[in-house]
Amino acid sequence: MSMEFPPIVYAVEDLITEGCSILAGPRKVGKSWLSLQLCLAIANGTPLLGRHVEQGETLYCAFEDPPRRLQDRLNKLGEPMGTDFYYLCRDKLLTINNGLVDFLDAWCTAHTRARAIVIDVLAMVWHSNKRNQDAYTEAYDVIGRFKKLGEQHHVAVILVHHVRKKSRDDGDDPFDRILGSTGIVAAADTSLVLERSPASVHGKLSVIGRDVPSDEIPVAYERCRWRLSSILEDDGNDEIRKLVRGLAASSPAGWIGTPSQAVAQAGEFGARVTSPESVGWFFKNGYCADVSIRRRTRTSRDYIIKALEPDSDHRLEGQPHEQIEADI
């Protein structure tokens, strides 16, 4: 072909292009923090997850949040908003059927340096009407309207969305768990799935798209901020298990201490663990096949960690520690 086409416009290099992208993940995984970081990074011209951004104006539609909550999050991130960061909150909610796309079109026209718009979350602006058409066609049409808007103004429209809870029948493809019809992923230019175990700061950002390379980016979530990591999400609990086994081996009679004290000893066992919160969650909810983890007493902050004897009778995998506290 001899035709020449303009280069692809990236809001975030090899991650977010003009058009429409889906950013999905489980509840409370940190999607809103990442999308807010994205808007601030583009507005300030600073890298996001180590990637170059195209500096410009951004609009963050925090349609689940009152102004007070957004202000609190901005203060926690501690980044300057500057003059290129714009936002809407729950009190300014618009929907697909109530002028949202027309409003965004007018905003982009008035802000010629616009680079990114985040809708947080999709469920707040789109209420399905399956009585009139099948789910796939409806989803494809709705996402297509955002895609057309983005392409027309060379803007990245990012729709924050949820995933289904993982079941035993699910395969390894995280994009299959994006909530709703497959028409959502089919219509979007790029789909991203953010995953992280509650027991770990480490996670992964899976990426697939028409104009971006498929990737699994190791990330970490600490102090309300996402950053690049050297550990993928699947390895996060393994590092805590390494710490737990090290503690058990160090005190045959039983190691006693708090999650913070455990983290302070992580280096002794070569365990890459830095978050007391993640260790505390694991102590209460996690599982290590050859180690017993119990609270010292119901009200104590201390835990007792002790290696199990071979063939000892202990709880089944996945049974919460809180269920056995009465035995202490």
Dump pLDDT digits (tens) for 80-96. 888 999 999 999 999 99
Phi and psi at residue 321, to the nearest 5°: -65, -30
Amino acid at 249: A
CB 255 within 8 A of CB 235: no
pLDDT at 127: 86
CA distance 242 to 221: 20
Per-chain mean pLDDT for the chain: 87
Which residues pair with residue 12 across a beta bridge?
16, 53
CA distance 244 to 228: 25
CA distance 272 to 327: 32
CA distance 195 to 179: 14
Residue 309 or residue 24, greater confidence: 24
- The pLDDT tens digits of the residues spanning 240-280 come to 889 999 999 999 889 999 999 999 999 999 998 888 888 88
Task: State the chain's maximal CA–CA distance in angstroms.
Answer: 77
pLDDT at 310: 58
What are the C-alpha distances in Å from 172 to residues 19, 166, 169, 206, 318? 27, 10, 10, 11, 20
For 276-281, which contacts have Cβ atoms below 8 Å and span 24 or more sequence positions? Answer: 278/198, 278/199, 278/200, 278/201, 278/236, 278/240, 279/240, 279/243, 281/198, 281/199
pLDDT at 130: 63
Residue 287 or residue 148, greater confidence: 148
Copy the structure tokens of residue 108.
Answer: 């982009």
CA distance 193 to 191: 7
CA distance 303 to 263: 13
% of the chain exceeding 90 in pLDDT? 65
pLDDT at 300: 87
pLDDT at 215: 92
Residues 291-305 have a mean pLDDT of 89
Instruction: Tell me the CATH number for domain 10-231.
Output: 3.40.50.300
Copy the structure tokens of residue 239.
Answer: 């590092």
CB 276 within 8 A of CB 223: no
Q: Which residue ranges make up each domain of the chain? A: 10-231, 235-327
- The pLDDT tens digits of the residues spanning 176-234 come to 999 999 999 999 999 999 998 876 788 899 999 999 999 999 999 988 999 998 765 55
pLDDT surpassing 60 at residue 321: no
Residue located via tokens 């983290």: 263
pLDDT at 163: 95
- The pLDDT tens digits of the residues spanning 45-72 come to 999 999 999 999 999 999 999 999 999 9
CA distance 19 to 151: 5
The number of residues making up the chain comes to 328
